[in-house]
Amino acid sequence: MKKTVILFIWIILVIGLVGVLGYAYKAHQSTVCEKLDILINYNSKDYFITTADVEDFLAAKKIKIKGAELSDINAADIEKALYEIPSIESVIVYITIEGNVKITLTQRTPILKVFNKYYQSFYVDDKGKLMPPSDNYTARLLVANGDIPDIYNPQTALDVSDTASADTLVMAKPLYKVYRLTQYILKDEFWKAMIEEIFVNSNGDIELFTKVGDQTVIFGDIDNMSEKFAKLLVFYKRELNKIGWTKYKTINLKYKNQVVCSKI
């Protein structure tokens, strides 16, 4: 009899707890959102999107947050919509206990601006994804131009980590090559400060233009990048520092174990 009474009490307590939780949930769902917090992590000095841009985007999508009941706010749907913004890498949306909505965005990090052979421009981010140009902001980055046939396509993926199983068609693209070269340049503080433009000529050879000196550095393909940059650095130290930076028109790194130059 005693066990039956105890079991009955526990059942009453559980039912009561479920009822309280259900009432609290219903009350919470009917709460009106009074505050929308938007935080953007930029991870660089480039600002392709602002909080006002995000608010305008949500309004254009007819997604009401501030002033709406929590029952009408779907965090997953908001995240899915925000991923449509080309400059956004990641999105987190959640509703606080107080009934406020918080949105945390991470902007993609552009590392290269491309002008293709059709005079179209776009950016490439650090993950090898393409970004369209911004109407409100122009990033000061390394520039690649010349005979680059690739056009903007948000589905393009250049970050091929496993070259053994990679798509050889992607790896043969001039855009892939200038992306890989940019990655190499940005990892070295000297070359990052020295090189300002990557040019692909009509023969498919890559040429580099530096901030110091008037010469064109003929880099060729992206094979043996470390060796080529090492040769160029030695040439700078041993030759140009002695005879000056305006004596040569071209510096050719295409040939193994030598640097071939032509004078102005």
Residues 62 and 181 reside in one and the same domain: no
Alpha-carbon distance 254 to 156, whole Å? 29
Domain membership of residue 24 (yes or no) is no
Q: Where are the beta strands (DSSP E) in the chain?
A: 36-41, 88-95, 101-107, 110-115, 121-125, 130-131, 142-146, 195-200, 206-210, 216-220, 248-252, 260-263
Domain membership of residue 123 (yes or no) is yes
CA of 46: how far to CAs of 50, 92, 199, in Å? 11, 21, 23
**Mean confidence (pLDDT) of the chain:** 84
In the prediction, which pLDDT does 215 show?
A: 82
Residues 241 and 114 reside in one and the same domain: yes
The three-point CA angle 199-204-207 to 5° equals 30
Q: Is 74 exposed, middle or buried (0-12, 13-18, 19+ CB in 10 A)?
A: middle
**Domain assignment of residue 74, given as a range:** 36-107
Q: Where is the domain boundary, 82, 107, 132?
A: 107
Residues 116 and 97 reside in one and the same domain: no
CB 80 within 8 A of CB 92: no
Q: Where is the domain boundary, 80, 107, 134?
A: 107
Radius of gyration of the chain (CA): 28
Instruction: Give the three-class secondary structure for 144.
Output: strand
Question: How many distinct helices (H) and strands (E) make up the chain?
Answer: 8, 12
70: domain CATH number? Answer: 3.10.20.310
In the prediction, which pLDDT does 20 show?
A: 41
In the prediction, which pLDDT does 159 show?
A: 78
**130: which strand partners?**
124
In the prediction, which pLDDT does 6 show?
A: 58
Residues 135 and 228 reside in one and the same domain: yes
Domain membership of residue 2 (yes or no) is no
Alpha-carbon distance 187 to 177, whole Å? 16
For the chain, list residues with pLDDT below 70: 1-30, 160-167, 240-246, 264
Q: Smallest Cα–Cα separation from 127: which of 164, 93, 161, 152?
A: 161
Q: Is 45 exposed, middle or buried (0-12, 13-18, 19+ CB in 10 A)?
A: exposed
Q: Smallest Cα–Cα separation from 42: which of 144, 143, 139, 184?
A: 139
In the prediction, which pLDDT does 157 show?
A: 85
Alpha-carbon distance 231 to 259, whole Å? 7
Instruction: Give the three-class secondary structure for 149.
Output: coil
Domain membership of residue 30 (yes or no) is no
Q: Where is the domain boundary, 77, 107, 137?
A: 107
CA of 53: how far to CAs of 49, 61, 85, 107, in Å? 6, 12, 10, 13
Those residues with Cβ within 8 angstroms of residue 65's Cβ, 6 or more apart along the chain or in another chain: 33, 36, 58, 73, 78, 101
